[in-house]
Structure 1
Amino acid sequence: MRVSGKRYPNKNLRFIWILFLLFLILSDCSIMNNISRRDREKSEVATFLPLPDETLESLSFNARITVQTTLSDMTISAKVYYSGMDSINIQIKDPLKRKLATVWLIDNSYYLWLQRENRELSGSEFPENINDFQIPDIPISSISHLLIGQIDSKNTNYKIKRDQFGRLQQVFPKSDQNVTIQYNHWVTIDSSYQIPDDIRITNNQNTTIDIHSSQFRLKIRKLS
């Protein structure tokens, strides 16, 4: 028995068929977009470069620092200024934007001004504790490189793990085996260079320091 010349004896069947075709089209587009995005990300990451030590003229960025211990939590903000790779000025403020401290790191020495207490500290090694807070035993000369993820693999002071793109993933200072520095995320600045904007420092004393950085400003010295 013929069905009065109709191609689809059931309207619901036609509707289901249309939905099925639409699903296939959208799925195909989604898969292609994901593949394209992954390929693009791999291509972009492959072009990233570490900051050049010799031609870095200046770098500045904001940082939000959260310190968590078994006794208390604290969040502070900081403004970080690089003048070359071996000279850093860090201005630290409390959550109400009141000045807490200013730190200068120059080559292998530091100068710290605790503004609330009007107390000054300086030397070639950090003190073990400041106001009951334990300071990780990290060489002063390495701080500038650690903050921007630029530790050289030839540096024997650290055990280093890198990701598939050659970026720092984990750093273990040999001077303090309780400390682990984890690089969780990187951003691109100046269209080429990569800098970590999410760093976590932990030790076996149940202390965690999270550093989230933003608003990077970079100036590279042009070679004549």
Structure 2
Amino acid sequence: MATPMPRILIVDDEADLVETLARAARREGYEVDTALSGAGAWDRLATRPYDAVVTDLRMPGMGGAELMDRIVERGVRTRVVVITGYATLQAAIDCLRKGAVDFLQKPFEVETFLERLAEALAKPLPPGPPNWHEIARRHGLTERERVVVEALYRTGLGNRELADHLCVSPHTVKSQLRSAFRKLGVENRTQFLQRFVAEPAVSPPPRPAPGSPGAPGES
């Protein structure tokens, strides 16, 4: 019995781009569904499994970041590839922290999209987010320490911003992180994130020359 081709969901509020990418993916033999919004994508994800979701980051209503949050919260196992015209290093880090397996900057060649999609599909399905209650139990973290490191994992905020987020003092955050890091066997934030956040490649492809064939526009 033949192995079924991967099923892909492409999400972007730019209809022409969605159609261009969907047409190219179908030529490669993929089964492709599309959505023009995060909400529309979630409706599809709630009813059938996908091997990969390719989503724009900024869309009216539910954007790609919120869609990824919902995928994680509801335990949907799929590979997420983010495409965006607003790429920054922090945006890439945030997407990877949310579970994306790749980050592709617009504009890009259709051939580049297909290559990166194939690379994403070759990767194993990402695991679910860390079970912080189990990690806390295993390493002897206090409840306060667990709350702080979980918030750091989810937000990546600096100490002062993290303190505001948790409604505690920066001193409390610094103290709890120092103690938690010691118990977890890491020395600093960098080691913590390297240990608990997946690190797929995030460097964007070379930008094609303006007006070159197969270079979708920014959105």
Q: Please state which band the TM-score falls in when normalised by the shorter chain.
A: under 0.3
Structure 1 length normalisation: TM-score? 0.23
If the length of structure 2 is used for normalisation, what is the TM-score? 0.24
Which has the larger helix fraction? 2
Rg (Cα) greater in structure: 1
